[in-house]
Chains A and B, each alone.
Chain A
Amino acid sequence: MLRWIVWRDLILAWRRRADVLSTLFFFVIVVSLFPLGIGPETQLLRSIAPGVVWVAALLASMLSLGRLFANDYQDGTLEQLLLTPQPLYFIVLGKVLAQWLVAEIPLVLIAPLLGVQFDLSKETLLVLFVSLLLGTPVLSLIGSIGAALTVGLRGSGVLISLLVLPLYIPVLIFGAGAVDASIMGLNPQPNLSLLGAVTVLSLIFAPWATSAALRISLE
């Protein structure tokens, strides 16, 4: 069941490749705007890099979350999925997993390249990569709650960011904190461990909350 949902969403995403690419380029453009706005001093850029990359990742995930349930809602698939005897938890988990693979993984992969623009060292790039790899599942998981609550509402795109962005703050702090620590030559491990803890917690609870939210929204 889980595999079937993931596979289906991946095929759908492949048929709308442009959406995936636009999220990715949004991320790249936002990150590249900061040096233009702040100035090219290497020292300054290096110190803001973790925050910039992470905040851009949060914003980019806002773009793709709006689509998480919207298309399925419009063509009625979502209603049918809710009626299946399979546990909704796994259906939601499958959709979130597919969203993560399609929308977040490209960001994670390109982030080290953007880090080079900010003159980060090789070790720091690795920490940036790992922190994003650990943290982006939380963005998809918590974001799915917001997406489920706002499905079918007018202006849901802006609304979803109001609901979800405050909840992202711990991820932002731990994620950017790990990279920061690495830049200052400290051990990024505590931050990464906390990030991992947040990921595990949201993996357990978020699909459940999303299922409840979907039932409320489609009733």
Chain B
Amino acid sequence: MNLYKYASPVNFYPLAGKIIPWFAIPAAILFAVGLYVGFFVAPTDAQQGDVYRIMFIHVPAAWMGMFLYVLMAIYAGVGWAFNARLSSMMATSISITGASFTFLSLVTGAFWGKPTWGTWWVWDARMTSTLILLFLYVGFISLQASIDDPRRADRAGAVLALVGVINVPIIYYSVQWWNTLHQGATIRILNKPTIAPKMLAAMLIMLAACWLYSIAVVLVRLRYIILEREQNAARFAEVTA
């Protein structure tokens, strides 16, 4: 089997349709299992009570937000360097999911912060850099949205994503430094040496569920993008028929 065949969006379209259930169904099962373990099996935290359980959504969401930005930049870069349309479409597709997860992690973080710290928002280093990550996603998405020519949008997005990826560590450390300068170590998140095995299990299951969900959703969105862009391709009709 020639795998390169699937680098063509038109050929990938039916394949994506076939493999989506392989990610979507396990994602649904793992979400169910993870939420069950997280809410009913994992013990109540000694210091925080039951509030901490939002971490089972918050932490995977925050991780996904970061991973997906890097993944998006890689896809965009590959699409630019090798002139691979499918790869660029992947980047566009990932950007929305990544921004959603980043936003979700900020919202759940606020929900956790209100009862625990007594405030919806503090200018903590991690929260600030997550907010900046959301800004970077917004920049990428709005740049691509305002360019009419899809190939130019792909490449311009790639430049921005790569510049962003180089900048992320600089931004991260500058924010951390800024934070230590401006406020002492007043608050630390989950500064415990160990985490109960059941909590860890729930967290990992939720992380796996988020990954599978992301792949499924990205592929679904990718199919719509292909549908939109390749509708005039001669072979498209026979593939979708």
**Alpha-carbon distance A177/B182, docked complex (angstroms):** 10
In the complex, which of the residues B135, B159, B178 contacts A149, with contact meaning CB atoms closer than 8 Å? B159
**Alpha-carbon distance A156/B156, docked complex (angstroms):** 13
Tell me which residues across on chain A come within 8 A of B159, comparing CB atoms.
145, 149, 209, 212-213, 216
The residue on A at minimum CB distance from B135 is A166
Say whether B174 contacts A170, CB under 8 Å.
yes
**Alpha-carbon distance A140/B135, docked complex (angstroms):** 20
Say whether A162 contacts B171, CB under 8 Å.
no
Question: How many B residues touch A, CB cutoff 8 Å?
Answer: 26
Tell me which residues across on chain A come within 8 A of B226, comparing CB atoms.
none
Say whether A167 contacts B163, CB under 8 Å.
yes
Interface-forming stretch among B6-14, B44-52, B138-146? B138-146
**Alpha-carbon distance A102/B140, docked complex (angstroms):** 29
Known contacts A149-B159, A163-B160, A217-B156; is-contact A173 B178 (Cβ 8 Å): yes
- Residue A159 at the chain B interface, CB threshold 8 Å: yes
- Residue A37 at the chain B interface, CB threshold 8 Å: no
Question: How many A residues touch B, CB cutoff 8 Å?
Answer: 29
Tell me which residues across on chain A come within 8 A of B175, comparing CB atoms.
169, 173
In the complex, which of the residues A167, A177, A180 contacts B167, with contact meaning CB atoms closer than 8 Å? A167
**Alpha-carbon distance A121/B71, docked complex (angstroms):** 48
**Alpha-carbon distance A198/B171, docked complex (angstroms):** 11
**Alpha-carbon distance A155/B146, docked complex (angstroms):** 8
Say whether A205 contacts B166, CB under 8 Å.
yes
In the complex, which of the residues B142, B156, B166, B174 contacts A216, with contact meaning CB atoms closer than 8 Å? B156
A-B contacts, 29 of them at CB < 8 A, read: A142-B163, A145-B159, A145-B163, A149-B160, A150-B146, A159-B142, A159-B143, A162-B135, A162-B139, A162-B142, A163-B142, A163-B143, A163-B160, A165-B135, A166-B135, A166-B139, A167-B167, A169-B171, A173-B175, A173-B178, A174-B174, A177-B181, A180-B181, A194-B174, A205-B166, A209-B162, A212-B159, A213-B156, A216-B159
Closest 9 CB pairs of A and B: A170-B174, A166-B135, A216-B155, A163-B139, A173-B178, A173-B174, A149-B156, A162-B139, A213-B159
**17 additional A-B residue pairs with CB within 8 Å, beyond A149-B156, A166-B132, A166-B136:** A150-B143, A153-B147, A159-B143, A159-B146, A163-B142, A165-B135, A169-B171, A169-B175, A170-B167, A173-B174, A173-B175, A177-B177, A177-B181, A194-B174, A209-B159, A212-B159, A216-B155
- B residues whose Cβ falls under 8 Å from a Cβ of A: 132, 135-136, 138-139, 142-143, 146-147, 152, 155-156, 159-160, 162-164, 166-167, 170-171, 174-175, 177-178, 181
